[in-house]
Amino acid sequence: MSEKSLIQAQANAPEERLPLITLREARAAVELLQLLCAQGGEAADVAGDLAAALARRLPSD
């Protein structure tokens, strides 16, 4: 299994969600994932998918 496939599998694995980070930390993580996506590379699409999934769960400003 490639590293990209492993990351996708971990990101999409169904499990209980826990409140482990603050809203500010979550927004920063989304921004970093979006930056990684914009830079391209092997994991860019995985980073973009994860950023979008997390951003959908955040409250709007």
Domain ranges of the chain: 23-61
pLDDT for residue 3 is more than 90: no
pLDDT at 27: 95
Question: Is residue 16 helix, strand or coil?
Answer: coil
Confidence of residue 22 (pLDDT cuts 50, 70, 90): very high
**Using an 8 Å Cβ cutoff, are 13 and 48 in contact?**
no
pLDDT band for 36, please (50, 70, 90 cuts).
very high
The mean pLDDT of 35-54, rounded to a whole number, is 91
State the pLDDT at residue 37.
Answer: 95
